[in-house]
Amino acid sequence: MTGAAILIRLSSQTLELVEDGTTVATYPVSTSAKGGGERSGSEQTPRGRHCIKEMIGADLPAGSVLVGRQPTGETCSADSYAAHPTRDWILSRIMWLEGLEDGRNRGGDVDTFARYIYIHGTPDDQPVGVPESHGCIRMRNDDVIELFDRVRIGTPVDIEE
């Protein structure tokens, strides 16, 4: 894991895991339906240089529901999703991002961490590969668990158009 980094491309809706300069995995993701942007309240995905500040959900079962960064004991199913289709489901794992560029994605009304921007799981029957989130980076549950197990706090994350 030495030299691990993440590259998220808004244009292709992909997340690349890079280890020692080589892309070792590429995953489809869903970023903001409103595109890239850093302002609080914009519901856009913040761009620029970030890192993983906190990792939440280690060892939870796939599909575990997290609310306020805490597991609820619930597992998302087709029935629970159908009952709450507008809920912003945060499942399986959370990698909470911190912006590293003062004035761009750190501090004031552009602070990624204060905006609660995560890489997290989403219901498996929901689309990925298309922009549909409220700012976070959504992944399939198996993919987010695999990624979570391959990175650590401090892993750099670059988000680009």
Whether residue 1 is predicted with pLDDT greater than 70 in this model: the reply is no
29 phi and psi angles, rounded to 5 deg: -135, 170
Give the model confidence (pLDDT) of 43-95 as tens digits. 999 999 999 999 999 999 999 999 999 999 999 988 888 888 788 899 999 99
Running DSSP on this structure, what letter comes out for residue 126?
S
Cα torsion for 43, 49, 51, 56, to the nearest 10°? 20
Give the model confidence (pLDDT) of 97-131 as tens digits. 999 999 999 999 999 999 999 999 999 888 999 99
Q: What is the pLDDT of residue 2?
A: 57
Rounded to two decimals, what is the model's pTM?
A: 0.94
Burial of 21 by CB count in 10 Å (0-12 exposed, 13-18 middle, 19+ buried)?
Answer: exposed
- Of the pLDDT bands very low, low, confident and very high (cuts 50, 70, 90), residue 149 is very high
Running DSSP on this structure, what letter comes out for residue 42?
S
Q: Summarize the confidence of residues 134-143 as an average pLDDT.
A: 97
